[in-house]
Structure 1
């Protein structure tokens, strides 16, 4: 059942939603229902409050965190005579936080500067609209020409603003590398602000040219939208009655705990395999393959922690602070057996923006296939942009995995996933584990190869260093033996 169909079914208890999206009830007049935003909780919030089984899994992850802390405590104490508790990767990852803050303030300033620009554009369009009349012969210039010129000027100003928002931080990070976590903050925020500005532009610019249309949003509402956990602009969102600060504190505590959780995973189970990569001129292929497989389980746990940290804890904390009532930031993607449904359910915040602003406008012009391909490529390019600027090198592993293999999985699982949901849910989890294992191996390989290998004239931002240093060789006395011979 689709989301709209499910909504109509749930709403039938109180009334009926007609084809135009109006809620009809015997005791009240018709009112508009926005099908995109409804008061609802996140799936994990519901499951944790209603299912003892899911709550037990949540407690298992907390217990694993405690065991990891004890393991790190004992290992550091016995081996080094000091206690680190995963603090050093966190400090290193969020290094140069002052520069990160300055770049973020620059991005925020440009996002705020868009609002007075929108007001000026709306004022100019209104003035031109009032004076628009059929121009007599030989009377230059025509009001229609002035209106077209004003629209062109507005589009150029918007392009310049978005160009500065995306270009200046990218140039600064390309000029001088920032720590990994700090770089992620800068790049993700610049993309988030750009998507929000575009959403407001699409919603509000037609109002500037329409006579007697909906007024432009107030600055207060625009500021609310900049920090609301959504990328789709609306004049009104469903709101809760009050902020539960205890819930906010709990979610922020979860964010901090997961940051250290990932730090423990990297420090104890991933970095030991790759931190010395490139210090020796040669490395055996068997060691590389063994390290990749050893990183599969830590990587999938890190992947799940990242999902919970960003799409559940962080977004729910902001939703609670801003009394934003629609908490459906994701769906039950872990039960999916079709990759098309997985991509829609994994991150509904980004998916909704791509659907409304890329896919739907392209379908009438290019068709469904080309529109889908465009969405995948745009999403893959921006994912790779974040990684390239954060790591300090271009290594398009995610671009290939997401933009090529991820796209191929959509038609491959479309039919079989419906016919054999159990089997293909297993296939989906298997591919996620293998894919994350490769990502959590290949990017550290390249990072430490650039750090540990000697500098050479051929070093480049775009040419992978790990392809030439160190040399990957087979074991000198390696031979294939019959496994059934004893």
Structure 2
């Protein structure tokens, strides 16, 4: 007997030898449990993961060399760029945030296109000298048309000073008076309505009626008219943004007992009136240095674009449309003139873009240390007109988007998106037509039809879903045709107004184009 002791107790059990053991039949193997199955699955996953790691390691070994070379090159370029910035900062020439065109000009191939435009300008000058020498026997460049277009500049200057003085003092002091009394007044709605009516009346007379009176009464030439009308629109948009951004802030921030209401700083508003943006902010990103050599080069480029446009008009537009003005209006004459005006029209569009959106805005941004230079995007790569409208002029687009499109959606509780977009197009078309009507001195709604009709159709049909490069070709083709239509029709109407004055001043005579019925005979 074998004994098993547990503590103080002793238990006896029989040995297997003492009694026979009954043989049992062989049992079937028990089925695998759930844990065993999971263990096998985990082992399979581990094997597959190990194989995946081995393949990945082999792939990394193969591409390690090219990746290392690329990384070394990137780091070297970054170090060089950082070194240039440090040297520029030490020399007082910190590189500012660049626009798309500035970055493109760093590429030699793109800069060659810029050189080709300069060569074309030199060719215009040489051809003009050659023609004048052959016809008149002298080598003198005359700019009588240019001086006439910018005539009466003293009148333009004092008119601008009057509009600027009002825009600087009027909206700011009106907002200050209203903001100082708003929270302490018992009749906030009446006070707001009276202040808004007073400001709207002042805006209407000073920034509405006064510029029109100056343009019409003094019979300013076209370029001088452009200065006053464009500045009128700029002051209206700036002052509206200033009031629109500050009124909600004043209404929603009630001052504590004994504290004065927080009003915008006068220096911020003064800076806003000159900086190249139409959205008011208390502060903007600033650069620490001014590159005066860059400012000088930019103004020289503006002057070059001005002379470039002058030679395009003198050599490509005026001789053709002056001779066509003695022919009756017909479809054949219109089609020939349209295709003749396509190239000069596109050149003028590119010159206007480069001179204003690139050079002019960058020059003022540099002088004011304004760091945000996103005045336009790569509109030339657009495959849809929807993208073209957003990227062509970002400064104006932002204003229309925030104060036109978004405010319309807010008022309609985001229910009429198409109507909001259509309203923006209508406003933009009306303003463009107003500018051309006032500057040319006649009503010919070419710009309005192109924006409000064709532009709207293209915006909804040639939308952002168009990604193929073919649509970029289509967009450029439409731009060429559109610019040809504008130059052709406006030039024809200009000479028709000269050769066939209106017999009366009735409404229908004022709105009916004279080029439709004028046939001038020398």
Q: Report the TM range for the smaller structure's normalisation.
A: 0.7 to 0.9
- The counterpart of 2:223, out of the listed 166, 181, 197, is 181
Structure 1, 358-367 or 119-128: larger mean CA deviation: 119-128
What CA deviation, in whole Å up to 9, does each residue of 1:282-316 have, x standing for no partner? 36654443232111111101110110000000000
Q: Distance in 2 between matches of 1:107 and 1:83?
A: 43
Q: Distance in 1 between matches of 2:272 and 2:408?
A: 26
Q: Cα distance, 1:111 vs. partner? A: 0.4
Q: Distance in 1 between matches of 2:110 and 2:237?
A: 34
Q: Cα distance, 1:271 vs. partner? A: 0.8
- The counterpart of 2:236, out of the listed 194, 199, 204, is 194
Q: Cα distance, 1:161 vs. partner? A: 2.4
- The count of corresponding residues between Structure 1 and Structure 2 is 414
Q: Distance in 1 between matches of 2:510 and 2:227?
A: 21
Query: 2:363 — aligned with what?
Result: 317
Distance of aligned partners of 1:416 and 1:221 in 2 relative to their CA distance in 1, 3 Å threshold: closer
Q: Distance in 1 between matches of 2:217 and 2:155?
A: 13
What CA deviation, in whole Å up to 9, does each residue of 1:432-472 have, x standing for no partner? 00000010110111111011125423674322111111289
- The counterpart of 2:145, out of the listed 82, 89, 97, is 89
Q: Cα distance, 1:83 vs. partner? A: 4.7
**With structure 2 as the length reference, what TM-score do the two structures score?**
0.76
Query: 1:36 — aligned with what?
Result: none
Query: 2:195 — aligned with what?
Result: 154
Q: Distance in 1 between matches of 2:426 and 2:140?
A: 41
Distance of aligned partners of 1:207 and 1:343 in 2 relative to their CA distance in 1, 3 Å threshold: same
Q: Distance in 2 between matches of 1:286 and 1:431?
A: 21
Q: Counterpart of 1:395 in 2: which secondary structure?
A: coil
Instruction: Write the mapping of 1:225-264 to structure 2, written as runs, cut at 5 A.
Output: 225-264=272-311
Distance of aligned partners of 1:225 and 1:458 in 2 relative to their CA distance in 1, 3 Å threshold: closer
Distance of aligned partners of 1:86 and 1:46 in 2 relative to their CA distance in 1, 3 Å threshold: farther
Q: Give yes or no for the alignment of 1:212 onto 2:255.
A: yes
Q: Distance in 1 between matches of 2:140 and 2:403?
A: 46
Q: Cα distance, 1:415 vs. partner? A: 5.9
Distance of aligned partners of 1:174 and 1:229 in 2 relative to their CA distance in 1, 3 Å threshold: same
Query: 1:29 — aligned with what?
Result: none
Q: Counterpart of 1:231 in 2: which secondary structure?
A: coil
Distance of aligned partners of 1:455 and 1:383 in 2 relative to their CA distance in 1, 3 Å threshold: closer
RMSD of aligned residue pairs (Cα, Å)? 2.0
Q: Counterpart of 1:466 in 2: which secondary structure?
A: helix
2:342 and 2:484 in contact (8 A); partners too: yes
2:387 and 2:464 in contact (8 A); partners too: no
Q: Distance in 2 between matches of 1:401 and 1:156?
A: 34
Query: 2:77 — aligned with what?
Result: none
2:383 and 2:464 in contact (8 A); partners too: no
Give the gaps of 5 or more residues in structure 1.
1-38, 129-142, 473-486
Structure with bigger RCO (C-alpha 8 Å, 6+ apart):
1
1:380 and 1:399 in contact (8 A); partners too: yes
1:277 and 1:452 in contact (8 A); partners too: no
Query: 1:466 — aligned with what?
Result: 515
Q: Distance in 1 between matches of 2:350 and 2:328?
A: 34
2:229 and 2:435 in contact (8 A); partners too: yes
Query: 2:403 — aligned with what?
Result: 357
What CA deviation, in whole Å up to 9, does each residue of 1:54-77 have, x standing for no partner? 111111111111111111111122
Q: Distance in 2 between matches of 1:326 and 1:194?
A: 22
1:258 and 1:305 in contact (8 A); partners too: yes
Q: Give yes or no for the alignment of 1:119 onto 2:176.
A: yes
Q: Distance in 2 between matches of 1:369 and 1:330?
A: 24
- The counterpart of 1:77, out of the listed 133, 139, 156, is 133
**With structure 1 as the length reference, what TM-score do the two structures score?**
0.81
Q: Distance in 1 between matches of 2:330 and 2:516?
A: 14
Distance of aligned partners of 1:450 and 1:302 in 2 relative to their CA distance in 1, 3 Å threshold: same
1:283 and 1:471 in contact (8 A); partners too: no
Q: Distance in 2 between matches of 1:163 and 1:84?
A: 47
Q: Counterpart of 1:127 in 2: which secondary structure?
A: coil
Q: Distance in 2 between matches of 1:461 and 1:61?
A: 40
Give the gaps of 5 or more residues in structure 2.
1-95
Structure 1, 282-291 or 437-446: larger mean CA deviation: 282-291
Q: Give yes or no for the alignment of 1:378 onto 2:378.
A: no
Q: Give yes or no for the alignment of 1:100 onto 2:156.
A: yes
Q: Give yes or no for the alignment of 1:43 onto 2:92.
A: no
Query: 1:344 — aligned with what?
Result: 390
Q: Cα distance, 1:354 vs. partner? A: 0.3
Query: 2:336 — aligned with what?
Result: 290
Q: Counterpart of 2:105 in 1: which secondary structure?
A: helix
2:500 and 2:520 in contact (8 A); partners too: no
Q: Greater CA radius of gyration, 1 or 2?
A: 2
1:86 and 1:267 in contact (8 A); partners too: no
Q: Counterpart of 2:280 in 1: which secondary structure?
A: coil
What CA deviation, in whole Å up to 9, does each residue of 1:28-63 have, x standing for no partner? xxxxxxxxxxx73210111112x1111111111111
- The counterpart of 1:274, out of the listed 321, 327, 348, is 321
Q: Cα distance, 1:97 vs. partner? A: 1.4
Structure 1, 392-401 or 152-161: larger mean CA deviation: 152-161
